[in-house]
Amino acid sequence: MIKHRKIVMLLTSILLVLGLVGCGATGQEVKDESQEQGNVVAVVNDENISQQEFDESLDQLKMTYAQQGMNVEDLQEDQLKEMEQQVVNQLVNTKLLLQAAEKNDIEATEEEVEQSLVQIKDQFENDEDFKSALEANNLTLDQLEKQIAEELKINQYITENTVEVTVEEEEIMAMYDQYKEQSEEVPAYEEVKAQLEQQIKQQKSQEEFGKLVQKLRDDSEIEVLI
């Protein structure tokens, strides 16, 4: 089960982040139950997101939570709705980023996809374990390669359209002082400096990413149908 978890974690990490942007937003995101869209759960700039995509993403998210020890079956109705909304946001944000990447002629080469695939395979002891993990996560090799290609394009677009964040010494000291105020047992500054710097850098990167995706949302026509 731990080995099976590796593919889920590798493939859903960016999607979990994507789902954080746009939660609870309204604006162009309109829920219109009167529209008959068949098996479509959302429309993003005239491109459909299918019920099948939604169901598969929801299943993957549930599997991720289950592998982290959460009993999905015990979730309340409002918690399930929140999870579904997170999946919709993931799918919408991913669609927006892919559209933007393609508009900017960003492509993932076969070599890049193969290199990433090798890195994933290297997480397993042998090819049989890798295939078992694919089966456990309801993935075919073609689907995995497609997801890798999409993630590569998204990552390149994000890199090209966000500023490289920097962290000042004063910011690290300020965070360290906050920890000291909250607890008496705090390691020496030099022992945790690198960790704090990384934490601040991640926070700043997330803020830049959120601004990028929010701009794409503001400039797009998005209709959520569920």
Neighbours of 132 (CB within 10 A): 14
Give the model confidence (pLDDT) of 105-121 as tens digits: 999 999 999 999 999 89
Q: Look up tokens 């000042």; give the residue.
A: 168
Does the pTM surpass 0.75? The reply is yes
Q: Are strands 222-224 and 47-50 parallel, antiparallel or unpaired?
A: unpaired
Task: Give the pLDDT band of residue 38 (cuts 50, 70, 90).
Answer: low
Mean pLDDT (the chain) is 84
Q: How far apart are CA 4 and CA 2, in angstroms?
A: 5
Specify the pLDDT at position 69. Answer: 86
Report pLDDT digits (tens) over 209-218: 999 999 999 9
pLDDT > 90? residue 208: yes
Q: What is the mean pLDDT of residues 174-200?
A: 94
Mean pLDDT value across residues 32-37: 42
Could you tell me if 220 and 44 are in contact, meaning their C-beta atoms sit under 8 angstroms apart? Answer: yes
Which two structure tokens, joined as six digits, stand for 182?
């909250």
- Res 169: pLDDT: 97
Is it the case that residue 67 has pLDDT exceeding 90?
no
User: In the Cβ-directed half-sphere of 119, how many Cα atoms lie within 13 Å?
Assistant: 10
Q: Running DSSP on this structure, what letter comes out for residue 173?
A: H
Q: Name residues whose C-beta falls within 8 Å of residue 192's C-beta, 6 or more positions apart in sequence.
A: 176, 179, 186
Amino acid identity for residue 220 in this structure: S
Alpha helices in 27-72 (DSSP H): 51-67
* Confidence check: pLDDT of 226 > 90: no
Q: Is the pLDDT of residue 34 over 90?
A: no
Q: What is the pLDDT of residue 29?
A: 42
Closest CA to 20 of 87, 112, 119, 110: 87
Residue 28: the pLDDT is 41
pLDDT at residue 36 greater than cutoff 50: no
CA dihedral (211, 213, 214, 218) in degrees, to 10, reads 130
Q: What mean pLDDT do residues 96-102 have?
A: 97
Cβ-count burial of 210 within 10 angstroms (0-12 exposed, 13-18 middle, 19+ buried)? middle
pLDDT at 35 over 50: no
Task: Determine the average pLDDT of the residues in 7-12.
Answer: 44
Which residue ranges form the domains of the chain, and what is each CATH number? 2-163+220-224 (1.10.4030.10)
